[in-house]
Structure 1
Amino acid sequence: MRIFTGVLGLAVVGAIGAWVLSAPRPLPDGATAGLVGEATRGEAVFHAAGCASCHMAPGSTGAAQLVLAGGQSFPSAFGTFVAPNISPSEAGIGGWTLAQFANAVQRGVSPDGSHYYPAFPYAAYARMELQDLADLKAFIDTLPASDAPSLPHDLGFPFNIRRSLGLWKLLFLPKDWVIAGDLTPQETRGRYLAEALAHCGECHTPRNLLGGLDTGRWLAGGPNPSGQGTIPNITPAKLTWSEEEIVAYLTTGFTPEFDSVGGHMAHVVENFARLPESEAAAVAAYLKRVPPTP
């Protein structure tokens, strides 16, 4: 009986501890106080972060890509995630405060206090500057509204238990930059673009069994989360293009061998083509500083 009582007590203590540790952790109160967004600057952040690439409706082209109605599906080993409506409507993020927006983007915490799944790359956006977040929201608020309802994810047990994501965040939310050291201003800008805004690591870095990035093999490629094909290694071990060739690829979609970009990378090229060429050059300089990983 004593053994049973002891085991039960430990189980209760463990459950309470897990509940506390898995609680959402929003930004500190007042983190966004005094910030005023500017939509023109936010447009560049929007394209660098690839917001439309995931949140436009399936099959959208042209101006329709700026209607962030959601609905695209992203299959993975954990189930299928569906991008939500983030347009400035009541069905999207209309009425959200900047603080609520910042908590969603940087901490993966919804306005109602629940966890978002890390298919939304807040683990990368956690490195964003708060002013960029304010500018991004100012731009999204100028876009067309859509009343399309956000569709639910298709996840099985235990991945449908959102509370468990608090423990995932404790393990895998970043606390620093992956590539540290004495970087040039251009390389530093490239790091900000690659590790934060453009979230390159989310696709190009292999993951462990819990879905966390294996940062020891940063940008070394791996299986496509959809189960179809692989994502290439873009460290200097495999990506041997010159910086000029990387810039040309990011802005035109053509490789040095005159192959053309395909898949989701085509959206990345579309986005970089809308930015000053200096942004692609910064990413190219950063990629040359990444340790070569076979």
Structure 2
Amino acid sequence: MRLAGKLALSAAVLAGASALAFWWLTAPRVLPAEVVAAFPPGNAAEGERIFWAGGCASCHAAPGAEGEARLALPGGLQLKTGFGAFIAPNISSHPTDGIGAWNIGEFANAMQRGVSPDGRHYYPAFPYTSYARMTRDDVADLFAFLKTVPAVEGRAEPTRLGFPFNIRRGIGLWKLVNLDPAPVVSIEGATAEVLRGQYLVEGPGHCGECHTPRDVSGGLKTGEWLSGAVAAEGEGVVPNITPDGLSWSAADIAYYLESGFTPDFDSVGGSMVDVQKNMAMLPAEDRAAIAAYVKAIPGHPNGYPAR
């Protein structure tokens, strides 16, 4: 075989090996069967608490919904970003348009691995990188609660992304770097209250998804945890809530989450309005735990450009 032929053959073999490696590395990976089998039946009453902590209504309720209407979850909210428009799906109990026909394994894989029932990667606009830190009990309880919400007909529009972001398979590589169920920060001598707050903030509450700056791939810069960020939709900033950026006391933070009022007699605004509504539904001890954690984490300079 001539040199040119050998080079062409080598290039073809290398290309084929690279394609196989990419396919293997980016494959959606689900929870092991024995882990799924260990999920408990779930308690719907406890699941409601996780529903509010997880902010499910903020994205999946109809835009502008109030009161009991926030338990109808048809989706449709659009998050317009530099990657494209992410649209929240219907997660009501409807058997075909929502998640009413799902089993606990399908739900757990969506929540903690970002994998759909048909084996595709979910985009991380769905904050499964935070939900991966949730306990099995809380995932099962949330699933039990979602079975009790109204069944709403109609599917939301599909997410609209341009090339190459519309190639879902590539999310597999992104997950290798960014999907980690370990705690984000280590707090020496943390009390039980602070640890409870850490779980709520880093797990179901997914506060870091908005309050932490992101790298060029959209992954969180965890070394700048909760230091604030440019808003996902490119307008304004999400504030720094580390001790270097937020001077409020723990009592101030807990009261803000309950009432929506700041220590300066201002009121909650922007996208935080929905978050505060969710936090107001939690028991007082959960809000106190969140506040204790926010005061205990390392301080950081603002994670967004000077304004």
Name the TM tier (shorter chain).
over 0.9
Larger radius of gyration: 2
| C-alpha deviation, 1:150, in angstroms | 2.7
| C-alpha deviation, 1:7, in angstroms | 2.3
1:231 aligns with 2:238: yes
Is the 2:129–2:181 Cα contact (8 Å) retained in structure 1?
no
Cα distance in 1 for partners of 2:98, 2:284 equals 32
| Deviation string, structure 1 residues 62-84 (Cα, Å, up to 9, x no partner) | 21111100001011110110000
Q: How many residues align?
A: 294
Cα distance in 2 for partners of 1:214, 1:275 equals 28
Query: What TM-score does the superposition give when structure 2 sets the normalisation length?
Result: 0.94
| C-alpha deviation, 1:47, in angstroms | 0.4
Moved more, 213-222 or 180-189: 180-189
Aligned position for 1:31:
35
> Can you give the 5+ residue segments of structure 2 that lack an aligned partner in the other structure?
302-307
> Can you give the 5+ residue segments of structure 1 that lack an aligned partner in the other structure?
none
1:128 aligns with 2:134: yes
Cα distance in 2 for partners of 1:177, 1:149 equals 35
Please show how residues 197-216 of structure 1 align to structure 2 within 5 Å.
197-216=204-223
| C-alpha deviation, 1:5, in angstroms | 2.4
Is the 1:31–1:99 Cα contact (8 Å) retained in structure 2?
no
Query: What TM-score does the superposition give when structure 1 sets the normalisation length?
Result: 0.98
1:75 aligns with 2:80: yes
| C-alpha deviation, 1:30, in angstroms | 2.7
Q: Which amino acid aligns with 2:34?
A: G
| Deviation string, structure 1 residues 81-125 (Cα, Å, up to 9, x no partner) | 000000011201011001110000111101011110000000000
Cα distance in 2 for partners of 1:257, 1:54 equals 29
Q: Which amino acid aligns with 1:75?
A: K
| Deviation string, structure 1 residues 18-51 (Cα, Å, up to 9, x no partner) | 1000001111103232511111000101000010
Residue 158 of structure 1 is aligned with which of 143, 155, 164?
A: 164
Q: 1:113 to 1:209 in 2, by over 3 A?
A: same
Q: SS at the partner of 1:32?
A: helix
| C-alpha deviation, 1:176, in angstroms | 1.1
1:99 aligns with 2:105: yes
Q: Which amino acid aligns with 1:142?
A: T
| C-alpha deviation, 1:59, in angstroms | 2.1
Aligned position for 1:262:
269
Please show how residues 112-151 of structure 1 align to structure 2 within 5 Å.
112-151=118-157
Is the 1:248–1:254 Cα contact (8 Å) retained in structure 2?
yes
Is the 1:221–1:230 Cα contact (8 Å) retained in structure 2?
yes
Is the 2:187–2:296 Cα contact (8 Å) retained in structure 1?
no
Cα distance in 2 for partners of 1:27, 1:88 equals 23
Residue 18 of structure 2 is aligned with which of 4, 14, 19?
A: 14
Aligned position for 2:47:
42
Q: Which amino acid aligns with 1:97?
A: N
Cα distance in 2 for partners of 1:289, 1:62 equals 34
Q: Which amino acid aligns with 2:253?
A: I
1:282 aligns with 2:286: no
Identity %: 52
Q: Which amino acid aligns with 1:158?
A: P
Aligned position for 1:291:
298
